[in-house]
Amino acid sequence: MHMSTAVSPGGISQEADVRAPIRRLTRLLDPDSLTVLNRESLRGQNLEGVLTAAGLVDGAPAVAFCTDATAMGGSLDFAGACDIVAAIGMAERRRCPVIGVWHSGGARLTDGLRSLDGAGRMFAAMTRVSGVIPQISVVLGPAAGAAAYGPALTDLVVMSDTGRMFVTGPDVVRSVTGESIDQAGLGGPEAHERRSGVVHVTCDTDQDALAYGRQLAVLLARPGSFHPDTESSNAEPSRTDPRSLLPQSRRRAYDVRPLVRTLMDDDASFVELQPRWAPNIIVGLGRLGRRVVGVIANNPLRKGGCLDSLSAEKGARFVRMCDSLGVPMIVVVDTPGYLPGVAQEWNGVVRRGAKLLHAFAESVVPRVTLITRKAYGGAFIAMNSRALGANAVFAWPEAEIAVMGAEAAVGVLYRKELAVLPEHERERARADLAERHRRSEGGVDRAVESGVVDEVVAPRDTRRRLVEALAAAPGTRGRHSNIPL
């Protein structure tokens, strides 16, 4: 966003006026609902560098705070950090979301160790309410040091194109390591959306970022309730048949996003999170049967839908957030298993994969799984299987559930028999054996018989059955924090 620096009649530049916290909080909260909490910050130059307020988002209560980039770069002194602690405490008492708008150089140098103590108290407050109330951060400018760790401790982070997050800036990096990089490359949207996974949503403008912050707050503050009576297989004849969104060939890749959006009440209700980080798994929030749900889905367009170290970590953090905030989940499964390779083992696929297992096994919110094409091996277990506590597992009629794909299984089971056949006969024999194995071991009927799948559902009935199953499950929530993984 490019802003003029012309001076307004009041003597404050237009750029400073736009960056002023009162302007930003007014755009974040409902019109005429804002009540300033630390009124002394409106006097003079707001030396504390923070403005806190209570108000509404789409009619639901919320508390917000904003660092003041026009006062000493928005740096935090002890008093400013304590104002944020007080705002978090009010949100906790009201059981409502707290939204932080960040544009800050971090701890204020002129305040010395007191500024560090204040930052520590702020971190402790954020940790105390983690998993108790939704915490959302909107980063609209450089957020360094303590102002970077603040957003990282919250549930969801939105960043505008001018946002930056880093522990130490480019000058320090250059002096210590010799690496030359600018602020955008070090901690801009590209760095944190695609490489680090710290940011959940990126936007072109500050206004869009504040709008997304509002939208996420509304989803978590006004979750709604399930209405299974309004769902039926014939309720919306114009709705796209979900099966038509998958390719005819089982081997072809496809983007799972259109399928996810078709399952939701409407396209606009689904907000994908971290879309460019570990894109072989999709996570996001949307409405299903009028209730906000979390969605986790394998994406065959990326790495064939395999789970790997990063996607397992991404999924685990999202599952824990949903569980701690009482958000029911649907899990859409189409995966051939875990991605093999030396790099995966060295990058901690065992440790990170265990996080996903732990997150689902620990979760107590209603969660239902839908297997569309295939679910093989350890990835079948990890993607919210019955064994990990899923309330229901559904499968489409052509789905395959097995230890591994039929072709790979035949290669192991009949290796010696296939090896002695002439080459021109070997492939035909392999195909016949694979088809036989698929029918006997990987068919959905066998999965139902063994109890790992509860029901085979027709694609057009999927929405209705998902809503019914989630509505029938106990509406509980986890009792744990949402620790950054």
Please identify which residue in the block is written with the tokens 């107590």.
364
Residue 484 in this model has a pLDDT that exceeds 60: yes
Cα–Cα–Cα angle for 483, 126, 217, nearest 5°? 90
pLDDT band at 5 (very low <50, low <70, confident <90, very high): very low
Domain covering 14-221, topology: 2-enoyl-CoA Hydratase; Chain A, domain 1 (3.90.226)
Give the separation between CA 311 and CA 305, rounded to whole angstroms: 10
Q: What is the pTM of this model?
A: 0.89
Q: What percent of the chain has pLDDT over 70?
A: 86
The amino acid at 260: V
pLDDT of res. 406: 58
pLDDT in tens, 129-152: 999 999 999 999 999 999 999 999
261-296 confidence digits (pLDDT tens):
999 998 678 999 999 999 999 999 999 999 999 999
pLDDT at 6 over 60: no
Residue 9 burial (CB < 10 Å; 0-12/13-18/19+)? exposed
Range(s) of the chain covered by CATH 3.90.226.10? 14-221, 228-399+443-472
Q: Could you read off the pLDDT of 43-85 as tens digits, one per residue?
A: 544 456 899 999 999 999 999 999 998 888 888 999 999 999 9
Write down the CATH superfamily of domain 228-399+443-472: 2-enoyl-CoA Hydratase; Chain A, domain 1 (3.90.226.10)
Residue 169 predicted with pLDDT over 70: yes
